[in-house]
């Protein structure tokens, strides 16, 4: 079985790494936070020591990092993956980053005969824990097929979307739809609350109809309970929407709804809610009305 290197043991990376261990993979892990490494070592992983050392002993290297500059530095920077990786190594970047950056990194990898695919995920912390993430993949299809069993150890689905960068384009589309959906649920629930109808009853009445969605099922109950413990943080969604706006503008795709929701999230960030779950878009409506959706 392939030896897997895993770089980035945050809110998503740690449960993903644990699921790879449960699937029987030999795992070597690295993170800038020593306590995160210690935690995953207790689950059966080996500590990588350094990025370069990890890369030199692993067949497949998974990166799960916050944003484009982090991935570029870890893969291409001094002491990075490419300094240690041997020819034929596969890099699976599961971070959500700008598609153009994925393409730039892949070109650097190709110079050393290292293969790279972009494979961002959707589902947040709960699905990372359950191993039921949705994974969207861009890059060489043969490489995708090679690592697909590995991907299905952390996800319920892994769909090939096209050439390098296509995974992140798909993720950006996903993030638009999720953000606008959360805002719409907040707006609908607030209308009910202000009109004197219990939003919990509205939720029960409409969740099986056309308005029903995975987003509403996951985020609606959080709004009703005023529970904004992060599964996916506002600040991370802001990062993704920045990449949406940059990419959309570069390809000439209009983004009026994304722009509106981005401003709502920026207002939440300014009020100190950036580390809360993105369902706290409900708080934006509470600020506008002086009324909480939840009890």
The model carries a pTM of 0.92
By the 8 A CB rule, do 147 and 89 touch?
A: no
Average model confidence (pLDDT) across the chain: 97
Q: Do 279 and 198 belong together in one domain?
A: yes
**158 in the same domain as 59:** yes
Mean pLDDT of 32-55: 97
Mean pLDDT across 193-211: 98
Average of pLDDT values for 27-34? 97
For residue 199, CA distances in Å to 80, 187, 220, 281, 286 come to: 50, 11, 9, 15, 14
Active site residue ranges: 171
Find where tokens 């506008």 sit. 288
* Residue 76 and residue 90 share a domain: yes
Domain count, the chain: 2
Has residue 211 been placed in a domain?
Answer: yes
- pLDDT, position 295: 78
State the pLDDT confidence band at 124, using cuts at 50, 70 and 90. Answer: confident
Using alpha carbons, list the distances in angstroms from residue 278 to 145, 157, 191, 236: 33, 23, 19, 9
Q: Residue 295 domain-assigned? A: no
Same domain? 8 vs 146: yes
Task: Give the distance between the most distant pair of CA atoms in the chain.
Answer: 65
Same domain? 176 vs 153: no
Torsion over CA of 204, 208, 222 and 125, rounded to 10 degrees? 160
- Is residue 279 predicted with pLDDT exceeding 90? yes
pLDDT of 85 > 80? The answer is yes
Residue 294 lies in a domain: no
- Say how far apart CA 285 and CA 282 lie, in whole Å: 5
Q: What is the pLDDT of residues 223-267, one digit of tens each?
A: 999 999 998 899 999 999 999 999 999 999 999 999 999 999 999
User: What's the confidence (pLDDT) of residue 1?
Assistant: 75
Q: Are 88 and 127 members of one domain?
A: yes
Contact 76/104 with Cβ under 8 angstroms? no
Which CATH number goes with the domain that contains 238?
Answer: 1.10.1040.10
- Domain end, chosen from 115, 144, 163, is at 163
Q: What is the rounded distance in angstroms from the CA atom of residue 271 to the CA atom of residue 284?
A: 10
Clarify whether residues 155 and 190 are in a common domain: no
CATH of the domain at 109: 3.40.50.720
Task: Average the pLDDT over 157-164 and give the result.
Answer: 98
Q: Is residue 126 part of a domain?
A: yes
Q: Are residues 43 and 124 in the same domain?
A: yes
Query: What are the residues whose beta carbons fall under 8 Å from the beta carbon of 117, sequence distance 6 or more?
Result: 90, 91, 92, 93, 137, 138, 139, 140, 143, 144, 147, 164, 167
Same domain assignment for residues 159 and 174: no
Cβ–Cβ < 8 Å for 135, 151: yes
Do both 191 and 130 map to the same domain? no
As a whole number, mean pLDDT of residues 264-274 equals: 98
DSSP state of 85: P
Establish if 228 belongs to a structural domain.
yes
Average pLDDT for 85-92: 98
pLDDT digits (tens, 9 = 90+) for 141-155: 999 999 999 999 999
Residues 86 and 159 in one domain: yes
Could you say which of 163, 195, 210 is where a domain stops?
A: 163
Given 141, 163, 185, which residue is the final one in a domain?
Answer: 163
Give me the helices (H) in the chain, please. 13-22, 34-42, 51-57, 68-76, 81-84, 99-111, 124-130, 141-151, 166-194, 199-206, 214-224, 234-251, 256-270, 281-289
Q: Tell me which residue range forms the domain holding 264.
A: 169-289
Task: Check residue 104 and give its pLDDT.
Answer: 97
Q: Are residues 263 and 146 both part of a single domain? A: no
- The β-bridge partners of 30 are 7
Q: What pLDDT does 259 receive?
A: 98
Percentage of the residues of the chain whose pLDDT score is greater than 70: 100
- Residue 63 forms part of a structural domain: yes
Write down the pLDDT at residue 231: 83
């Amino acid at each position: 079985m392939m030896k897997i290197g895993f770089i980035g043991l945050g809110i998503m990376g740690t449960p993903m790494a644990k699921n790879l261990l449960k699937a029987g993979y030999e795992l070597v892990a690295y993170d800038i936070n020593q306590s995160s490494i210690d935690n995953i070592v207790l689950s059966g992983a080996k500590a990588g020591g350094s990025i370069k050392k990890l890369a030199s002993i692993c067949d497949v290297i998974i990166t799960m990092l916050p944003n484009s500059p982090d991935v570029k530095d870890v893969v291409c920077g001094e002491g990075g993956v490419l300094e240690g990786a041997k020819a034929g190594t596969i890099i699976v970047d599961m971070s959500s980053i700008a598609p153009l950056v994925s393409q730039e990194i892949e070109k650097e990898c190709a110079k050393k005969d290292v293969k790279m695919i972009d494979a961002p995920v959707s589902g947040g912390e709960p699905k990372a824990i359950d191993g039921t993430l949705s994974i969207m993949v861009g890059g060489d299809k043969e490489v995708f097929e090679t690592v697909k069993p590995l991907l299905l150890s952390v996800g319920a689905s892994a769909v090939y979307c096209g050439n390098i960068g296509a995974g992140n384009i798909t993720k950006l589309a996903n993030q638009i739809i999720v953000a606008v959906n959360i805002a719409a649920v907040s707006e609908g629930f607030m209308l009910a609350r202000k009109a004197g109808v219990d939003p919990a009853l509205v939720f029960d009445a409409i969740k099986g109809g056309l308005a029903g969605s995975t987003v509403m099922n996951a985020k609606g109950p959080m709004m009703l309970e005023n529970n904004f413990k992060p599964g996916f943080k506002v600040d991370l969604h802001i990062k993704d929407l920045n990449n949406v706006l940059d990419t959309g503008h570069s390809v000439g795709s209009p983004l009026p709804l994304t722009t509106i929701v981005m401003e709502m999230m920026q207002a939440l960030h300014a009020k100190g809610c950036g580390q809360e779950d993105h369902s706290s878009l409900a708080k934006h409506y509470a600020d506008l009305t002086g009324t909480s959706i939840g009890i």
